[in-house]
Structure 1
């Protein structure tokens, strides 16, 4: 028995339907699917629930994380913690799977191997056509560097604490887990004998500049450098200082019960004092943080003092504070329930977090 893990947030419902239809039409039906909806907004959430009424073999887990950074690792781990089958396949919702996909996985499964798969990419035109799997024209194929679609022994993946939840945003988590399994002595095998899955074309999802959802403009670069240390340090276990794959809905319900509100400015000393005195030390309470530019930020008075070489107040740009706060959460508080908004137009940050 194999569990297929799919992660989802605000994706085209038509693309997801094509994916689920291909699983519905498997020649071997001995599998289950856990789909983690990691924070879709109401529109997509409602569409998803309507669609899944047609697929009784899918277990939906909804996470109220729409005002958090996207964390595919945590979404996968939430499913992994619920997985009781001997093997687990981590896939994507934008794939169309061959009818013989599950039967081939059953042939390939091996307790000493991780198997990841070559993917055929469809063009935009080809992706819009509904046809038999073998009739699709493949535009190009992935190589060994694309590590996302992989079959694991469940116990082995759990033994290394699953995927590393440091990775927020996009990139690195799938290669990281393969490196750590190799470090633990397991064989990681690239299967390219035949194409078992096709990637449906879709436009890249770019964040609107006026969006209030959390965004850190350097996360992909940080993830890339973090991955280098996983490789050079022969790391095996991830998430050693945090509970991994945890999600408690009651913690998110508690975010409605704010106990203390802190109003801060972008004075560097004030912000750093707050982080070290409150954010990283308070326990068992729900707090709200509001941050706005100080009235003297970029004032004529401060600029004049600076020109004259006089002592001035040290400020942080609001973009910098946004990035620093998100980094503190990823590094120190990533298992906590939180809601984060940054209005770059009005230069205001709001964070509610259960410490």
Structure 2
């Protein structure tokens, strides 16, 4: 069984132009999402203003929700959990606010989606020069492909389901939070993201392997689900080694549920309903 409705879980932080381009691309998908939930890790007011303008341009039927918390450093796991708690769709595709989806992105993800599985995708890295031109000129027809010299930009729809159960099945780190799809019920089973991950890195690996430990198998979306990652300077990666080891420990110990995860936001949501 494939999903009937889908939400885009869109992570962002203080880059409104990139987020605007991503939203424009989501508004022209061959299969429109039912929801776009923006997980905002403390952006300034200019991001809020841009989101309000884009809400007015959204195609009819797309619910856009903006979930924000105060900027107290890199707390992506927390804002993602808060955003998952407001998702109403049965399927979630996670995307970063600097990754522009090709027009078949949602269609491709849903084609490969299956019960009891998550879908891992890849990305096309855009150069500094190409990223600057895209931001200046916008999403012109075929414009992104001018700067894509990677096989990850190829789209061959009939190969997607043939390769999905086999491609990169044994690569521990071939899972990226900027392009991944999963059933809402599966992320709730593992209690969402582990909020002990503070600082950049590896919270997505931890999540995926806890889902795998819970019996959720991997399907890899090759030759589809294309995203174009705009160039930017690297974030502070001082927590990289610590977070990577924590993720590897979760894999080794076969953990399933996060001790500090999404459940508290779900309880708050239910309590508010009861009032």
Category of TM-score, reference length = shorter chain: 0.7 to 0.9
Aligned-pair Cα RMSD in Å: 2.7
Compared with structure 1, are the counterparts of its residues 247 and 22 closer, same or farther at alpha carbon in structure 2 (3 Å cutoff)? Answer: farther
The correspondence for 1:42, drawn from 41, 45, 55, is 45
Task: Tell me the equivalent position of 2:146.
Answer: 136
Q: Is contact 1:38-1:63 (8 Å) kept?
A: yes
Q: Distance in 2 between matches of 1:140 and 1:111?
A: 30
Q: Distance in 1 between matches of 2:54 and 2:176?
A: 29
Task: Compute the displacement of 1:123 (Å).
Answer: 1.4
Task: Tell me the equivalent position of 1:178.
Answer: 208
Q: Is contact 2:211-2:256 (8 Å) kept?
A: yes
* SS of residue in 2 equivalent to 1:135: helix
Q: Is contact 1:63-1:247 (8 Å) kept?
A: no
* SS of residue in 2 equivalent to 1:118: coil
Task: Tell me the equivalent position of 2:77.
Answer: 73
Aligned residues: 236
The alignment status of 1:102 with 2:99, answered yes or no, reads no
* Greater fraction strand: 1
Task: Tell me the equivalent position of 1:63.
Answer: 68
* SS of residue in 2 equivalent to 1:136: helix
Unaligned runs of 5+ in 1: 207-216, 249-355
Task: Tell me the equivalent position of 1:237.
Answer: 257
Task: Tell me the equivalent position of 1:153.
Answer: 183
Q: Distance in 1 between matches of 2:255 and 2:48?
A: 37
Task: Tell me the equivalent position of 1:126.
Answer: 130
* SS of residue in 2 equivalent to 1:82: coil
Task: Compute the displacement of 1:45 (Å).
Answer: 3.7
Q: Specify the structure having the higher radius of gyration (Cα).
A: 1
1:81-96 equivalences in 2 (<5 Å):
81-96=85-100
Q: Distance in 2 between matches of 1:204 and 1:139?
A: 21
Task: Compute the displacement of 1:246 (Å).
Answer: 6.7
Q: Distance in 1 between matches of 2:48 and 2:11?
A: 13
Task: Compute the displacement of 1:61 (Å).
Answer: 2.7
Task: Compute the displacement of 1:189 (Å).
Answer: 2.1
Q: Distance in 2 between matches of 1:141 and 1:77?
A: 33
- Give a deviation string over 1:289-337, Cα, whole Å, max 9, x none: xxxxxxxxxxxxxxxxxxxxxxxxxxxxxxxxxxxxxxxxxxxxxxxxx
* SS of residue in 2 equivalent to 1:204: coil
Task: Compute the displacement of 1:99 (Å).
Answer: 1.2
The correspondence for 2:24, drawn from 14, 21, 25, is 21
* SS of residue in 1 equivalent to 2:25: helix
For normalisation by structure 1, the TM-score amounts to 0.60
Q: Is contact 1:123-1:200 (8 Å) kept?
A: yes
* Greater fraction helix: 2
Compared with structure 1, are the counterparts of its residues 244 and 170 closer, same or farther at alpha carbon in structure 2 (3 Å cutoff)? Answer: farther
Task: Compute the displacement of 1:135 (Å).
Answer: 3.4
For normalisation by structure 2, the TM-score amounts to 0.76
Q: Distance in 2 between matches of 1:242 and 1:5?
A: 14
Q: Distance in 1 between matches of 2:104 and 2:11?
A: 22
Task: Compute the displacement of 1:115 (Å).
Answer: 0.5
